[in-house]
Amino acid sequence: MLKNLLNDNFISGWHYFVYKQNILNMVLIFAICIIFVAIINSKIRFINNKLLMLINTFFLITSIVIIVLYTLVRDADKTEINLIPFCTFFRIKNNGNTELTRSFFMNVFLFVPLGLSMPYVLSQKPRRWPVFVTIAFAAVLSVGIEFLQYYYHLGRCETDDVIANILGATVGTLSYLLYMKILKNQEKGSLMQKINNNQTILLDLCAKSLFDKDVTIPDELDCSELIEESKTQTVFPCCYSLIKDKCDDAHGKTFSQIIAKNIRVEYAHNEVHRVLSENNIPYVILKGVASASYYKEPMLRMMGDVDVLVRPNDIAKADKLLNSIGFITTDDIDSDDMHIGYKRKDGVACELHRKIGWAPNNSIGDIIKEYFNDIYDKSQEYKTSNGGCIVPCKFHHGLILLLHTATHITHEGVGLRHLCDWAVFANSFSNEEFINTFEKPLKEMGLWRFAQLLTLCCVQHLGCDEKAWAGQADDDLIDGIVSDILNGGNFGNKDTDRYNQIKYISDRKDGTTAKKNPILQLFDSINEKTKKEFKFVNKSKLFLPLGWLFTVVRYIYMVIVGKRTLDGVSTVSEAKKRKDIYNAFKLYENDQT
């Protein structure tokens, strides 16, 4: 018998200690244990789900061991049996026996830890079936214990003990469900609580500007905060044009300056078209006026720089032609394998691209590159207000939008302008036309689900027409995506900590969302960053530790001077939340991956 393996003093001491505890003390102890387990779960679940599983498995095994020790390892040589349910309650009522009350509640408390830990071991998501399985397991375990107590003469065999044990397991599972519900609301709140009233109004204004949707603009409106939010989201012209009567002169001046810049950028597109076309250099414009062309009022889209794609063997010639119209670069034209940056005196910037650089570095990336092989052949001319330029066909433009948005949203973030660009583009297709154009290739490239989710965001928050091809998604996920966009701002300009989070989210080597847990991904990110920025490391793995040292020292320096913030638990937890959202995109996953 198990009791023979243990010392009699231990047995008697163990039971005396537990049995003689005050009921209120036991309630307090179990409340502290539940809070402790909840804190451990909430902290670790953002970093390592496998570690959390091991901890909960340890709690479960420990609780079962304690149950066995308390019920079967005891010094008794007689047995009693009472199969009448709820007999204990009648005895307490008639006799006022406090020892019976203590015994009943001890049996309840005994199974609470099992009910608290077992559901999470069975499933890491808040589902009902683990609760029923846990209660059923507790019932079987309790009946088995009562049978062994009766068979080996270890004390009373009572139905009420089984009832108390099941009640304890139920209390534990209900505590688990309540905790998971609170945690889910907190996670949703952590994303959604920052969507304030001004951001909601901003989404409505964009819907009005893009699709002429009926929206109600509050009479009492804090224009200053709304305008600042629209600037961080790069949708200021769309917003201001609808509320200009409520804004002051300073905002009107800003609007005029932005429109003036848009005109200069558009004119620069025309100049680039002229010099490249005259010299027979095939090119296409990426984003920019290509995206603005789908807007009802193209000038209300805030313009950035002029992105020009040319063939690699035309780079040197295109560089000289850009110099001839005032674009100057301080970079070596061979220093970057993706693009070269230029600026000129009127404030307009230009990027000369030698390839579409947003595809992943794997077999899916090879498929994507094949789809761009005919980008020059299928390009078309777009007429601007004072000229024209060459833009991609609708298929290539849509693919560019998806790749560009996918790359930046999983890194530093994108602003509302990116979502608006996709909204007006997707809305320009009928359901049948979009399916015929995009479904097969996007599924092959692993971008179909991402296109669906972006479109659902546009339908629910920007007034885009409903699209049958977009399918369905959980509202919390759609709200989470829009929250992520708003909370980051254009290229992460609202939250600099997003740059710190990238190394926990993205696989630098493949250019995809990493499948590993955040901590392991951190080390991979440091490795890839070291190899990219310190070329000597690639000559031999022996140099890798030296590269790590340089990377860490530079990071510490940037923290000291204020250019980076020190990573903390919040950085890792926010990265985990973002990564959970991005995993729903199924980026670059097709049936073969």
Contacts of 543 (CB under 8 A, 6+ apart): 534, 536, 537
Per-residue pLDDT band at 576 (split at 50, 70, 90): confident
Closest to 199 in 3D by CA, of 494, 497, 472: 494
Structure confidence at residue 523 (pLDDT):
67
> Confidence band (pLDDT; 50, 70, 90) for 5?
very low
Give the least confident one: 51-55, 106-110, 399-403.
Answer: 51-55
- Give the tokens for residue 567: 């990573």
Closest CA to 229 of 197, 191, 193: 197
- SS3 of residue 322 by DSSP: helix
Q: Round to whole Å and give the CA distance between 438 and 432.
A: 10
The closest alpha carbon to 110, from 176, 26, 37, 173, belongs to: 26
Helix (H, G, I), strand (E, B) or coil at 455: helix
* DSSP helix/strand/coil, 352: strand
Higher pLDDT, 222 or 475: 475
pLDDT at 231: 92
Say if residue 182's pLDDT is above 80: no
Which strands sit side by side in the sheet containing 306-310, from one edge to the other?
283-286, 306-310, 349-353, 339-343
| DSSP run (H or E) holding 421 | helix 416-427
pTM for this predicted structure: 0.66
Structure tokens at 78: 């007689």
CA max distance for the chain: 106
Give the whole-angstrom CA distance, residue 180 versus residue 186. 10
Per-residue pLDDT of 202-251, as tens digits, reads 999 999 999 998 888 777 777 888 898 899 999 999 999 999 888 888 99
Contact status, residue 169 vs residue 135, Cβ threshold 8 Å:
yes
Residue-wise pLDDT for 33-45, tens only, equals: 667 766 666 655 5
Distance CA 203, CA 59 (A): 47
- Domain spans of the chain? 2-192, 197-254, 496-593
404 closest CA partner among 550, 304, 541: 304
Q: Which residue has the tokens 């679940």?
A: 45
Q: What is the pLDDT at residue 26?
A: 64
Lowest-confidence segment of 16-25, 67-76, 140-149, 157-166 by average pLDDT: 16-25
Q: What's the one-letter identity of residue 352?
A: L
Residue 176, CA distances (Å) to 231, 351, 490 in order: 43, 54, 39
Amino acid of residue 155: G
Helix, strand, or coil (residue 560): helix
First to last CA, the chain: 55
